[in-house]
Amino acid sequence: MNREQCPVLDQLLELQRECRRLQELSQTDTLTGFYNFRYLVQALGDEMERTRRTGLPTGLIMIDLDHFKRINDTFGHDMGNRALKWCASVWRKNIRRIDIPCRYGGEEFAIILPSTRLAQAVRAAERLRDAIARMPFMLDGTHVTLTASFGVDVYTRKDNLGIEEFISRADSFLLNAKETGRNRVRYAGEGTEPASTELTPEERRALFPPHEDS
């Protein structure tokens, strides 16, 4: 019996598609298209376990938009939501395909960086910071410059941390960024000079893979 003669098979395939669609919805923040908090916890746990097995570090970037309440108070919550979607779209273009962007809640975001050292994670955060700071966003006919503060941390095999502790540690660097002037990146052992946003050849290949026909 071929497929055209088997309606049960068609029903099963349709059910599989619907199950996949519902699973994606349960993992995704509907406003930004990023993964939601529930998925963040699951994925971060998976990557931390991978670190314990392989020794490859897991990077985590915590992000909070600066003075976001002013956007809502001045332009309204609908415009605030547009600003969140815009930031998410800009950031998505500046991360690798293996990175895992999540909405932590409100105007706070988290990006998981698999197999990423601290220096790489800091460079990635600087690129994300610079990407929105230099691109004014149009709100209600007004060009508004949005900025964000970033906390960066890396989980290694020698760390004795749970998922919540790792998030909290990265979040503490984010809090320091907010307290020391905003629109900056903070991380453990940072130097006096800001990290370069210049891509390494490895990072460029990850962000901009060559076309198959090139």
Cα–Cα distance list, 149 to 38, 101, 128 (Å): 23, 16, 10
C-alpha torsion angle, residues 84, 210, 56, 110 (rounded to 10): 0
Dihedral (CA of 113, 53, 48, 30) sign: positive
Active site residue 179: no
* Active-site position among 107, 164, 193, 203: 107
3's CB contacts (< 8 A; 6+ apart) are 9, 10
Write the single-letter amino acid at 195: A
Would you call 33 helix, strand, or coil by DSSP? coil
- Residues 77-105: b if buried by 16+ CB within 10 A, e if exposed: eebbebbbebbbeebeeebbeebbbbbbe
Contact 148, 132 (CB under 8 A): yes
φ and ψ of 32, to 5 deg: -100, -20
Active site residues: 107
